[in-house]
Amino acid sequence: MNMAEQSARFDLASDDVLLFLHIPKTAGLSMISLLEQQFKREEILELHSVPGQGRTEKSVVLEGLGMRSQELKQRIRLIRGHLSFGPYDTLIWRYIVQTPVVITLLRDPVERTISAYMHMRRNVVNNPGFQEKYPTILDWVKDPENAHRVVNRLTRQIVGAYFRGRRLSEGKGGLSDQALLSIAKQRLEQFPFVGLTERFQESMNLLHHTFGWDLPAEVPQINVSPTRISRFDFSSEEIEAIRERTNLDEDLYKAAEELFDRRWHAMQQKRSAASAGTD
Amino acid sequence: MLAGDARQLKQTSDVRRIARMAAQRPLRFGLRSRDILFFMHIPRNAGTTLFAQLETRFAENETLSLGGPNLHEFLAKSTSSQFEDCRLIRGHLDYSIYKYLPRKPVYVTMLRDPIQRVVSLYGYVRDNPEHRFHRELINSNLTLGQFIQRPEPRKIVSNEQVRMLVGLRRREAAHLSNRAMLEMAMMRLDEFAFFGLVEHFIESLKLLQFTFDWPPFEDIGALNKARTNSGSPKYEQSDLDDIRDSNELDMALYSYAKQLFAARLNVMRETIGKQPRSNPYTEQIEVIVGRKSVRTRLMGSVAVRALGKIRRQIIPEGSAYEEAYLRIRRRMTGW
């Protein structure tokens, strides 16, 4: 059994680089606020999309930084962003590190999809005309243009964007569902920490235990008030449309829950052994 | 569908795309202080030779060669902290080794033409009494064709390379389609820091050295080869066909591996071609010239000439710069 299963601890070396795969609408920002407390400002690299045409995203940001890649390699200890990591993904491999310590946060795929829709709807500035184009979530989910945001978003981000030179989101000649899911599950096991939005407090607890950090007194609460939109505000037709398109994510999420339970249990055992002095 | 997959791979558009894709990924792989290199030793793939080469890059006390009859029991009982100080591990173990290690290892492996591999395995079993199928083969006087049909040997001669790369236990993999298995194995080749081909062993060593920025390997010959005696029977074409038929996945994987390997060799050659001849004194030149507010990233003999020009214009005779310049020029050009 590996370290994560036995004691849920991972020894971070001084030259390790933590990579937080931030999947949108999973309370990642709340986790980031805690993560960043463990590092100095200059050790953190945030990769965000650069709006524009053609080749955008992190590649532009990183290529701009590429001039000082030696410095980057030595300085950066935490990378975060809406990105995936694989040999052909982003330019982290090229410029910074080939063996990052990867962590992530997952959320129930139906809730996440709803949250993504509501977020874009609210964001009138960045998405003008969104409400008119997609008055209901069903319209949004069914439009093939949004496939890359909706269809098995969790699984695809975990696996990485490319396979044999084709972007997976293009859908043609890509990985079969079985392979996609199987690889994603193996990846989760390889990540020293996989948190769950639905168990955020516990996740932050486990996160700090994993890397041997002290849990701060103030852990951000994420909004779960009764007025928040949830799946019960939508018709079963709408929910079904989401579930159809997140079938792999659902499976993956179950695996993530089981993994989380095992590690939580290992943490409890380690803690009780420590307090009993038998560690 | 599988034959279609293999055919599809031969199409030029695929080859071009694979080449383009290989070029996107820099081959250089930086190992961090706690990274563990795991050499997935697929039997009969020149692993003993490759491991002997790999060992020269690590200290003895950080190298672990896993083997023996109770290997899986040993692993099941081990704790990952036992492997913490290992920097190089080798074993006839599949991808799932990551479950036993303190962190995900850096994978490397060697692949081989599936038919050659099985033929070699047959010869090895025949000639090595300590192999667990040796007795069965000798006592029943099995031909190659008969050997690969036996229920136990069959398990290790059918798509073994794909199965080791995928790394799932049989009952876990049982629900996976052939296509999914093949795709996962291909993903591994993308993911592995390095893979080589037995049929191109010398180039494989070059690529391996380039990947980890190691000094060149020395020629130590081939180790643990199957004995070839002059009296050995030629194999029936029908036997070789049988091997091919029971290794459809390995055949398709190997086809992809050849293309990806060739593409990476090209990337390596281009990268080396573009690099200026390495000159360890380049930085010193920059600093010295930099003090005079003249920056140069010139290398080698061009730098000498440039310095010469600068010296005439800026550096006065007898100054500290002249001394430094002469020292550097002496080192670079040998006079």
Model confidence pLDDT, tens digit, residues B311-324: 433 444 455 555 65
Sign of the alpha-carbon torsion through A62, A68, A73, A77: negative
pLDDT attached to residue A71:
79
Residues B165 and B93: their CA atoms lie apart, in Å, by 9
Cβ neighbours of B186 in A, within 8 Å: 163-164
Whether A97 and chain B come into contact, CB under 8 Å, resolves to yes
Interface of A with B in 100-129 (CB under 8 A): 101
Residue of A nearest to B95 (CA): A186
B83 near B61, Cβ under 8 Å? no
| Residue with the two structure tokens 């795969």 | A21
Backbone angles phi, psi at A181, to 5 degrees: -65, -45
A184 near A158, Cβ under 8 Å? yes
Comparing A244 with A56, the larger pLDDT belongs to A244
CB contact under 8 A, A183 and B187: yes
Q: Which of B102, B176, B183 sits opposite A2 (nearest CB)?
A: B102
pLDDT, tens digit, 9 for 90 and up, residues A103-132: 999 999 999 999 999 988 888 888 889 999
Residue of A nearest to B33 (CA): A15
CB contact under 8 A, A10 and B102: yes
Residues A52 and B265: their CA atoms lie apart, in Å, by 35
Q: What percent of chain A has pLDDT over 70?
A: 81
- Lowest mean pLDDT: which of A233-247, B45-59, B78-92, B213-227? B213-227
pLDDT attached to residue A124:
82
DSSP secondary structure string for all residues of A197-235 = GGGHHHHHHHHHHHHTPPPPS-PPPP---TTS--GGGS-
pLDDT attached to residue B328:
56
pLDDT attached to residue A163:
62
Residues B271 and A50: their CA atoms lie apart, in Å, by 29
ipTM given for this complex: 0.90
pLDDT attached to residue A61:
59
CB contact under 8 A, A2 and B24: no
| Contacts (Cβ under 8 Å, ≥6 apart) of B32 | A13, A15, A16, A17, A97, A99
Cβ neighbours of B179 in A, within 8 Å: 176, 178-179
**Counting beta carbons within 10 angstroms of the beta carbon of residue A253, is it exposed (0 to 12), middle (13 to 18) or buried (19 or more)?**
buried
B123 near B232, Cβ under 8 Å? yes
Q: Which of A99, A164, A192 sits opposite B32 (nearest CB)?
A: A99
The band of A137, judged by pLDDT with boundaries at 50, 70 and 90, is: very high
pLDDT attached to residue B59:
93
pLDDT attached to residue A230:
80
Residues B257 and B264: their CA atoms lie apart, in Å, by 10
Residue of B nearest to A8 (CA): B102
Q: Which of A73, A207, A166, A59 is nearest to B14 (CA)?
A: A166
Stated length of chain B: 335
pLDDT, tens digit, 9 for 90 and up, residues B57-102: 999 999 999 988 788 888 888 888 889 999 999 999 999 999 999 9
- Tokens read off for A46: 């945030």
Residues A238 and B112: their CA atoms lie apart, in Å, by 51
Q: Which of B104, B168, B183 sits opposite A190 (nearest CB)?
A: B104
**Local structure of residue B26 (DSSP, 8 states):** -
**Torsion angle of C-alpha atoms B16, B259, B193, B100, degrees rounded to 10:** 120
The band of A20, judged by pLDDT with boundaries at 50, 70 and 90, is: very high
pLDDT attached to residue B299:
40
Residue A189 has pLDDT above 90, yes or no: yes
Comparing B56 with B4, the larger pLDDT belongs to B56
> Chain A interface, mutation test: which of B36, B86, B103, most A Cβ atoms within 10 Å?
B103
Whether B89 and chain A come into contact, CB under 8 Å, resolves to no
pTM above 0.90, yes or no: no
Q: Which of A94, A97, A164 sits opposite B21 (nearest CB)?
A: A164
User: What average pLDDT does this structure show over A46-54?
Assistant: 53
Whether B35 and chain A come into contact, CB under 8 Å, resolves to yes
Q: How far is CA B130 from CA B65, B68, B127, B134, B175, in A?
A: 18, 11, 9, 7, 34
Cβ neighbours of B81 in A, within 8 Å: 3
The band of A56, judged by pLDDT with boundaries at 50, 70 and 90, is: very low
Cβ neighbours of A1 in B, within 8 Å: 79-80, 99-100
pLDDT attached to residue B68:
81
CB contact under 8 A, B180 and A86: no
Q: What percent of chain B has pLDDT over 90?
A: 55
Q: What percent of chain A has pLDDT over 90?
A: 55
Cβ neighbours of A162 in B, within 8 Å: 21
DSSP secondary structure string for all residues of A119-161 = HHHH-TTTSTTHHHH-SSHHHHHH-GGGHHHHTTHHHHHHH-S
